[in-house]
Amino acid sequence: NGGWITGPRGDLVLWTPEEYRAGLWWPRNVLVIGRSQVILCLKAVFHGTDWTKCYT
């Protein structure tokens, strides 16, 4: 998938750099085996046509 996190219909949602992909913590994970973990907080994410509001 080239680092893309996709939505339920396959739409591109978020791209993650390669160095963070191995430790990415998914909602249903109970454990991440590796040197580090990456947790995404998506509470304040702007998407769709609202992405322009992140600069205001």
pTM value surpassing 0.75: no
pLDDT digits (tens, 9 = 90+) for 5-27: 888 898 888 888 888 887 777 77
Check whether 32 has a pLDDT greater than 60. Answer: yes
Answer yes or no: is pLDDT of 56 > 60: no
Domain boundaries, the chain: 4-55
Q: Rounded to the nearest 10 degrees, how much is the dihedral formed by the CA atoms of 41, 45, 48, 54?
A: -160
Q: What percent of the chain has pLDDT over 90?
A: 0
* pLDDT at residue 23 in the model: 78
The total number of residues written for the chain in this structure: 56
* Torsion angles phi and psi, residue 34, rounded to 5: 160, -175
